[in-house]
Structure 1
Amino acid sequence: MSTVPTHARAVRFDRYGDRDVLYVADIPMPRPEPGEVLVEVRAAGINPGEITIRSGAMHDLFPATFPSGQGSDLAGVVVGLGEGVTDFAIGDEVLGFSWERSSHATHTVVPAEQLIRKPAALDWTVAGALYVVACTAWSAVHAVDPKPGETVAVSAAAGGVGSVVVQLLAQRGVRVLGIASPANEAWLAAQGATLVPYGDRLAADLTAAAPDGIDAFIDLFGPEYVQLAVDLGIPKDRIETIISFAKAAELGTKHEGSAEASNREVLTEMADLVATGRIEIPVAATYPLDRVRDAYAELEQRHTHGKIVLIP
């Protein structure tokens, strides 16, 4: 630990609000407790869920304690070990996740069980963007249990999670109807997916694109899509949303997220798929830690193809 600085830098917010409440603070260097690892963060993805937590919209489910940190995704280098950690050594390259809202920082501590070794072929930026989109996509796909030859509709199909969902479905031999803007048609077509533009004609266009019916629906955007899926007659046990929990509870559809897949086994499986080129995680933009507000300004446009990543 002698080579580790005495202070780290970390994103903080002291009250609920828009992105203007975010700032970067100097903090005492975190120290790993037994079973924990201190990681020097090389890359950390940002996610829409962090916006809802920071705004206070999720206070009842995920209340913040101020000053609050931020961030789940991370990739970096092990620079400190807590008592009892034998899985890793100083200098190991790792990726994983924090459940303490702490990855948007130069350094963070996480339990060793929430980390895996970073495959050598995996770029730092992609590794730092992996956890939320990969594990959420894995969980969403498994929730609807797609079979080869079936048709599955996906809202926000070109976003961070959607990009991975589309590719996982294609690997299973599923016909994908990707709900997105026309600007994403070429990328979706390259994955074997059919673009269905969102808008007033969406229900009719989905029906026209799948005259034999849609077998399952994965919602990655909002409650209107869960309602649409039910209205289209899709069985409720084959409608999954990662975001519209209240609507799912109201209608009796599924609402699984990354928590169900937050383990080493799934993370290792997904990291291997990306490292070997079978799955691509597009990176839309990178920002230094000091420009965290700008990173969220871009994310809040809700038209990003792929992930936005902070580089501490």
Structure 2
Amino acid sequence: MRAISYSRYGGPEVLEFGDHPDPKVGPDKVLVKVRAAAVNPVDWKAQAGYLDTIFDTVFPVIPGWDVSGVVVQPGVSVPEYAVGDEVMGYVREDVLSHGTFAEYVAAPVRTLARKPRNLTFEEAAALPLAGLTAHQVLHRALRVRSGDTVLVHAASGAVGSMAVQIARHLGARVIGAAREHAQDRVRELGAEPVPYGDGFLHRVRELAPHGVDAAFDTVGGQVLKDSAHLLAPEGRLASIADGEVVGLGGHYYWVRPDTDDLTALAELVEQGALTVRVARTFPLDRAADAQRANQEGGLHGKVVVTVDWPDH
């Protein structure tokens, strides 16, 4: 199969396009014919070696954790899927080696769910990591419920935009913090926009004079510290960006693959309660350019790598 890989740590320049052995399909895995794979910041951070203390790395590494595609072969202990089923997944394993920027990926069944019928493959590939992060933080770490006031940081970003929509679906009032140029996007998602910059704390306190019930930090640093000051007396705090949140009485959260959670997200999409936006797509052999686009940021939507098949 053709795939993107790297044989040493570095930036986009270490990515190479070439032939690799087809993946083996273990008993609990599903061979997926990849149609699209989204780019996430964790991809290029892992590629730079920043996660070397928590993940073993087996070179060459095929990057990518998000995927959508079609089942080619279910493993012998996988009755859940049949050949031809359309699936999506957050295909994170405990070793960096066989990712999703390839024509095929052997995905553990625990990482997959059925693709929403009303999403394209590109949109479906953009959902798993960001959507699961938002879903799990709101439900497990922040325990958001109807009537809560929730502060979401970087509310126009990949995780933030999902968090706004899911929190709104739960019946919460959402204050969305974002840069000045993204205020319309935040409003479109259903949140009350607040721009960063001088006077940020004052602007949030005007909207929530008694404090917010939950704050979802996706930035870290000073943003995290500001969030702690904006909480109501029993307010909950969670961060996916800064472990210092624990010292502030909050939760530091890492997303995990979960079929049930991913299925719940698919149901929200099919109900029209959750939308996914793709900003740019690149063919597989231009994955380095896709990675650069993700690093540059400023896009209201995900960057997705697509696999061109002769029959599509």
1:217 — aligned with what?
215
**How much does 1:299 deviate?**
1.3
- Are residue 64 (structure 1) and residue 61 (structure 2) matched? no
Contact 2:211 / 2:233 at 8 angstroms: preserved in 1? no
Distance across 1 between alignment mates of 2:77 and 2:231: 53
Of 273, 278, 285, 2:280 maps to 285
**How much does 1:45 deviate?**
1.0
> Unpaired segments of 5 or more residues in structure 1?
1-7
Partner secondary structure for residue 170 of structure 1 = helix
Distance across 1 between alignment mates of 2:289 and 2:234: 39
- Are residue 273 (structure 1) and residue 268 (structure 2) matched? yes
Partner secondary structure for residue 57 of structure 1 = coil
- Deviation readout 1:26-49 (Å, 9 max, x if unpaired): 101112122222111001111111
Partner secondary structure for residue 226 of structure 1 = helix
- Deviation readout 1:77-104 (Å, 9 max, x if unpaired): 1112333332222222111231245111
**How much does 1:233 deviate?**
4.7
Partner secondary structure for residue 109 of structure 1 = strand
**How much does 1:237 deviate?**
6.6
Alignment of 1:74-93 (within 5 A): 74-93=67-86
Q: What one-letter code is carried by the residue in structure 2 that aligns with 1:130?
A: L
Distance across 1 between alignment mates of 2:234 and 2:40: 27
Distance 1:233 1:61, change over 3 A: same
2:101 — aligned with what?
104
Partner secondary structure for residue 65 of structure 1 = strand
Of 2, 6, 9, 2:2 maps to 9
Which 10-residue stretch deviates more, 193-202 or 234-243? 234-243
Sequence identity percentage: 36
**How much does 1:173 deviate?**
2.4
Q: Which has the higher strand share?
A: 2
Partner secondary structure for residue 119 of structure 1 = coil
For these two proteins, the number of residue pairs brought into alignment is: 302
Scaled by the length of structure 2, what TM-score is found? 0.90
Distance across 1 between alignment mates of 2:203 and 2:100: 41
Contact 2:210 / 2:232 at 8 angstroms: preserved in 1? no
Distance across 1 between alignment mates of 2:128 and 2:145: 25
Alignment of 1:195-214 (within 5 A): 195-214=193-212
Distance across 1 between alignment mates of 2:247 and 2:177: 23
- Are residue 231 (structure 1) and residue 229 (structure 2) matched? yes
Contact 1:284 / 1:305 at 8 angstroms: preserved in 2? yes
Distance across 1 between alignment mates of 2:145 and 2:90: 30
Alignment of 1:118-197 (within 5 A): 118-142=115-139, 143-197=141-195
Which 10-residue stretch deviates more, 249-258 or 277-286? 249-258
**How much does 1:235 deviate?**
5.7
> Unpaired segments of 5 or more residues in structure 2?
308-312
Q: What one-letter code is carried by the residue in structure 1 that aligns with 2:154?
A: A
Contact 2:36 / 2:67 at 8 angstroms: preserved in 1? yes
